[in-house]
Structure 1
């Protein structure tokens, strides 16, 4: 059963504000937490990860404690940089372009907004991505 109450309301509100401002983006319940999609493609997912229940996430994040985790898409040099940046970023092994980020007290919300916008552009049709970043 999906549990959206696991995501701190202030985190969910901030992420929703950024994601839902993007053309045709929508929010829906995920298997755990909440995800944002463009058409039928997920570009962001937030959940509080319980290491006993979401072992792959916990292993990727290198944690044995519950954490609030945001996953999103990235490519190219940014993907490489984030994959090797260390905390708060981590690189799950289930998709080549997915990056994870631990959302904690030190989160840079301006950086999160930029990363989510870029993730949207990775997944969105070129016409919609151009509305955000200009012609590709």
Structure 2
């Protein structure tokens, strides 16, 4: 499965998630309002990635530990968002956990509780 298709499957499996274009690329929203994941191929620089909301401190920790897999994305990186390269070997179970954490950061408490149930 292609990275975009796999990422789409993970995002849309979460409660009350929708997809629509944002800045010319697919993005996923909670209740069609808050973005939690953005696909990142719009610079067409031969790098494939996604950007996502992240728990406090996660961006700094992951980028410091594995800069070949994680990065501080432009525009939203200052808000703690995490960039994840998809053109390197990818562990999709780990990506699922990162996407789920992103969802938890922006979703209302009721939806997080539904996810945990």
Range class of TM-score, shorter chain: 0.7 to 0.9
**Where do 4+ consecutive residues of structure 1 move more than 6 Å?**
none
How many correspondences in the alignment?
A: 113
Higher relative contact order (CA 8 A, sep 6+): 2
The answer for unaligned runs of 5 or more in structure 2 is none
Could you tell me whether the CA contact under 8 Å between 2:39 and 2:50 is conserved in 1? yes
Could you tell me whether the CA contact under 8 Å between 1:44 and 1:72 is conserved in 2? yes
Could you tell me whether the CA contact under 8 Å between 1:49 and 1:67 is conserved in 2? no
The answer for unaligned runs of 5 or more in structure 1 is 1-8, 52-64
TM-score w.r.t. length of structure 2: 0.85
Could you tell me whether the CA contact under 8 Å between 1:26 and 1:37 is conserved in 2? yes
1:129 maps to which of 89, 112, 115: 112
Is the radius of gyration larger for structure 1 or structure 2? 1
SS of structure 2 residue aligned to 1:84:
helix
**Superposed CA RMSD:** 1.9
Pairwise CA distance, 1:49 = 4.1
